[in-house]
Chain A
Amino acid sequence: MKTRGLLAVAIAGALVGGCAATAAERDAASASDASAEQSTKSATPFPSTYKPYPSADTAITGVTIFDGEGGRIDNGVIFMSGGKIRTVGDSGTAIPAGAMVIDGTGKYVTPGIIDIHSHLGDYPTPSVAAHNDGNEATSPVTPQVWAEHSVWPQDPGFSRAMANGGITALQILPGSANLFGGRAVTLKNVPARTVQAMKFPGAPYGMKMACGENPKRVYGNRNRLPSTRMGNLALNRQTWIKAQDYRKRMRSSKPPKRDLAMDTLAGVLDGEILVHNHCYRADELYQIIDMSREFGYKVTAFHHAVESYKIADILAEEGICSAIWADWWGFKMEAYDAIPENAALLHQAGACTIIHSDDENQIQRLNQEAAKAMADGRAMGIDISEATAISWITYNAAKAMGIADQTGSLKPGKMADVVLWNGNPLSVYSRPEKVWIDGAMLFDSADPNRRPVSDFELGQPGEGDVK
Chain B
Amino acid sequence: MKRFATLLLCSVSLLASGALAETVAITGGTVVVGDGSAPIEGATVVIRNDKVIAAGRNVTIPANARQIDATGKWVTPGIFAGFSRVGLIEVGAVTQTNDANASGSVFSAALDVQYAVNPFASPISVSRAAGVTRAVVSPSTSSNIFGGFGAVIDLGQDSRPITKARAFQFVELGETGHRRAGGSRTAAHILFRAMLSEARNYASNPVRFDGDLMKASDAKALLPVLNGTTRLLVHVESANDILKVLDLRKDFPALKLVLVGASEGWRVADDIAAARVPVLASALNDLPAQFEQLGATQSNIGRMKRAGVQVAIGMINDRDAHQLRYSMQYAGNLVALNRVPRASGLSWDEAFAAISSGPAEIMGMGSRLGSLKTGRQADVVIWNSDPLELTTQVEKVFIDGVEQSLSNRQERLRERYRNPTPGALPKAYDH
Contacts and interface: CB of A to CB of B under 8 A. Distances in A.
Interface residues of B, number: 59
Nearest to A377: B414
Contact of A465 (B123, B295, B391): B295
A428 B390 contact: yes
B336 A379 contact: no
A148 B409 CA distance: 40
5 contacts: A1-B92, A330-B91, A332-B92, A428-B336, A466-B297
A156 B417 contact: no
B104 interface: no
B420 interface: yes
Contacts of A365: 333
Nearest to A447: B341
B388 interface: yes
B298 A467 contact: yes
Nearest to B389: A428
Contacts of B389: 427-429
A339 B295 contact: no
Contacts of B12: none
Contacts of B82: none
Given A330-B89, A378-B391, A422-B340, 17 more contacts: A2-B289, A126-B290, A127-B290, A309-B417, A311-B420, A328-B319, A331-B319, A339-B410, A345-B418, A361-B287, A364-B286, A372-B329, A379-B393, A426-B390, A457-B288, A457-B294, A467-B298
B294 A341 contact: no
A427 B390 contact: yes
Given A128-B291, A375-B393, A461-B239, A310 B420 contact: yes
Interface string A336-351: 1111110001000100
B299 A466 contact: yes
A331 B391 contact: no
A6 interface: yes
A80 interface: no
A313 B317 CA distance: 37
B291 A126 contact: yes
B21 interface: no
Nearest to B100: A6
A4 interface: yes
Given A339-B414, A368-B390, A128 B290 contact: yes
B78 interface: no
Interface in B101-138: 122-123, 126
A428 B420 contact: no
Given A4-B289, A329-B410, A331-B92, A462 B318 contact: no
Interface of B: 89-94, 122-123, 126, 176, 239, 264, 267, 284-291, 294-299, 317-319, 321-323, 325, 329, 332-333, 335-337, 339-343, 388-393, 409-410, 413-414, 417-418, 420-421
B317 A2 contact: yes
Contacts of B336: 428-431
A456 interface: yes
Interface in A307-343: 309-313, 327-333, 335-341
A333 B96 CA distance: 12
A467 B285 CA distance: 9
A9 interface: yes
A448 interface: yes
Contacts of A310: 417, 420
A9 B91 CA distance: 14
A332 B420 CA distance: 24
A427 B386 CA distance: 11
A81 B328 CA distance: 40
A371 interface: yes
A154 to B, nearest CB: 11
B90 to A, nearest CB: 7
A457 B287 CA distance: 10
A160 B342 contact: no
A178 to B, nearest CB: 18
B323 A371 contact: no
Contacts of A465: 295, 297, 299
B91 A332 contact: yes
Contact of A445 (B286, B295, B341): B341
Interface string A291-312: 0000000000000000001111
Contact of B287 (A125, A337, A371): A125
A460 B390 contact: no
A309 to B, nearest CB: 5
A374 interface: yes
A406 to B, nearest CB: 29
A27 interface: no
Interface string A430-467: 11000000000000011010000000110011100111
Contacts of B291: 126, 128
A157 B322 contact: no
Closest 6 CB pairs of A and B: A428-B332, A461-B295, A462-B295, A332-B93, A375-B391, A331-B92
A448 B325 CA distance: 33
A371 B288 contact: no
A69 interface: no
A223 interface: no
Interface string A133-172: 0000000000000000000000011001000100000000
Nearest to B94: A333
B288 A9 contact: no
Contacts of B264: 461
A157 B287 contact: yes
Nearest to A465: B297
A333 B91 CA distance: 6
Interface string A111-133: 00000000000000111100000
A336 B92 CA distance: 10
B288 A456 contact: yes
B294 A330 contact: no
Nearest to A446: B341
A126 to B, nearest CB: 5
